[in-house]
Amino acid sequence: MSDESRHSPAQMLPHTRANTRTAVVIPAAGRGVRLGPGAPKALRALGGTPMLIHAVRAMAASRRVSLVVVVAPPDGAAEVKSLLDAHALPEWTDFLVVPGGESRQESVRLGLDALPPEYDIVLVHDAARPLVPVDTVDTVIEAVREGAPAVVPALPLADTVKQVEPAAVPGEPEPVVATPERARLRAVQTPQGFDRETLVRAHGTVTENVTDDASMVEQLGLSVVVVPGHEEAFKVTRPLDLVLAEAVLARRRLNDGF
């Protein structure tokens, strides 16, 4: 090793990644059963624009994101491609569309399979979180660039959480078994950010069903860290969430207008 390379910035900060390229996988293949009957959730409109387009724009708004892979409903890839063509998106970002699977986990894996080799940081972002601010996206990317193998944005909880035992007879009250200390609990959001190799390994190793990607990395025994999330990064899950999302959009329009 030459003297020069020993003192290069990369050597002085051994855990910092320098020339990284970041891609985002957006799982958007869910039906949206809890939202009620209608089109797949990601294709439903918010402020007249499909939720998926809001989510794609939120990711592509980051200058650090150079590829967005959308995982479409299994029979909806062509429709998603034409939606992306029909809406204005930043020119510094490339887009790919792949069909999704039966579970969120499978959809994310199909998105990862489609990633070209040059991306070393991967974010996974729910299409169902259309309003996440770009600052949250950048904060997650920055933490991965600084060396964390897995990063999740999260917020403290407003409600106290109880752990329960399933009721002995369905419909009967459920016995409480524990009350975790609220101050140490966090509600996690997306985008979650990963060293690509770590996430691919997690998806290749963990087979049981999980509800977020970071928990797969935890199962590998690797560290996962939390950065501040944002209240506008909430997930549109039930009908009332649509009301809130429309209100957030209306407030943004009002603020942009003045």
Could you tell me the two tokens for 258? 């003045």
**Nearer to ligand CTP among residue 29 and residue 69 (C-beta):** 29
Burial track 43-68 (b if 16+ CB lie within 10 A, e otherwise)? bbebeeebbbbbbbbbbbbbebbbbb
* Residue number of the CB atom closest to ligand CTP: 30
- Report CA-CA distances (Å) from 218 to 37, 64, 103, 164, 230: 35, 26, 20, 23, 23
Is 33 a binding residue for ligand CTP by CB under 6 A? The answer is: yes
User: Binding segment for Mg ion among 23-31, 48-56, 131-139, 148-156 (CB under 5 A)?
Assistant: 23-31
Q: Are 74 and 99 in contact (CB under 8 A)?
A: yes
Site stretch for Mg ion (CB under 5 A), options 29-37, 77-85, 131-139, 211-219? 29-37
Q: How far is the CB of 164 from ligand CTP (least distance, A)?
A: 21
User: Does 237 help bind ligand CTP (rule: CB under 6 A)?
Assistant: yes
Return the H-helix or E-strand segment holding 130: none
8 A C-beta contact, residue 71 and residue 29: yes
**Contact code string over 46-85 relative to ligand CTP, x by CB under 6 A:** -------------------------x--------------
Percent helix, strand and coil across the chain, each rounded to 5?
40, 20, 45
- As measured in angstroms, the least distance from the Cβ of 100 to ligand CTP is 5
Query: In DSSP terms, which residues pair with 97 in a beta bridge?
Result: 70
Q: Is 42 in the site for ligand CTP (CB under 6 A)?
A: yes
Can you say how many angstroms the Cα of residue 79 is from the centroid of all Cα atoms in its chain?
22
Q: Find the shortest distance in angstroms from Cβ 30 to Mg ion.
A: 5
Does 30 help bind ligand CTP (rule: CB under 6 A)? yes
- CA dist., res. 19 & res. 26, Å (int): 23
Query: Smallest distance, Å, CB 135 to ligand CTP?
Result: 21
192 binds, among ligand CTP, Mg ion, none (CB under 5 to 8 A by kind): none
Q: Which is nearer to Mg ion, 32 or 229 (CB)?
A: 32
What residues from 93 to 152 belong to the interface with ligand CTP (CB under 6 A)? 100-104, 107, 126-128
Q: Rounded distance, CA 164 to CA 147, Å?
A: 37
Residue, CB closest to Mg ion:
30
Out of 44, 230, 235, 252, point to the residue binding ligand CTP (CB under 6 A).
235
Asked if residues 212 and 188 have their Cβ atoms less than 8 Å apart, the reply is yes
Helix (H) or strand (E) holding 95: strand 94-99
Tell me the site size for ligand CTP, rule CB under 6 A: 22
> Binding-site residue total for Mg ion (CB under 5 A)?
1
Query: Can you give the binding site for Mg ion, defined by CB under 5 A?
Result: 30
Query: Can you give the binding site for ligand CTP, defined by CB under 6 A?
Result: 27-34, 41-42, 71, 100-104, 107, 126-128, 235, 237
